[in-house]
Structure 1
Amino acid sequence: MEVAAPTVWEILRNAGFDPAPERASSTWADFLRSQADAILACDFFETVILSGARLYGFAVIERASRRIRILGATAHPTAAWVTQAARNLVMDLDDADCRQGS
């Protein structure tokens, strides 16, 4: 059985529920600005050292402060290595009281 939207609205209104607020009042840019202190961006970079070996670095930039953190470098990045680097970052941010909430 399908129920028309006006019927649902009437039932809710009779039960004392107001309509939902407009959701289009906030833009994506507004959301990003309000969350800037919590946004981190990460990426890998590649470098060749003097011996000719190729290393992959893992870096994070804090959006609000634009502080760059090099989390480490390895010749063979694995999921376990990246996960541990991310855990270490979270612990460092927690120790520096950079994270909100919890």
Structure 2
Amino acid sequence: MDLEDVGDLARIRFLIRDRDAKYPALIDEILESSEIATVPSGVRMSRMNSIVERWVRTLRAELLDRTLIWNQTHLRQVLREYERHYNEHRTHRSLFAAAPLRARPQPLVPDQIKRLTIGRRGRLGGVVREYRHTA
């Protein structure tokens, strides 16, 4: 299967690649003829690959290894939902247990806790679960 066989199923507009000298210029020409823009990674971004590889590893371990994908539409829906979970709820060590698009949680003081009630919400058919303090 090549790019012409895919047709309208997937519209590839960009290919992000590193700046390795082994990458032949012929590949760029082939991609340009298919209207795909090649975007080289930043000049001194040695951590870029590791960040992307970590995201893919997390996605695979937490979602794709536990989910049966039916078709491309289903894959897009699942990835979109997981992205929401990852950015709005999932805790990140580098952010001190906060999600990227959510404010950092305030620590609970034991004297103020009379009753601790935790609510659970399943996402993606229960593959991913989110927990929150409820009133």
| TM-score under structure 2 length normalisation | 0.26
Q: Which has the higher helix share?
A: 2
| TM-score under structure 1 length normalisation | 0.32
Q: Which has the higher strand share?
A: 1
Larger Rg belongs to:
1
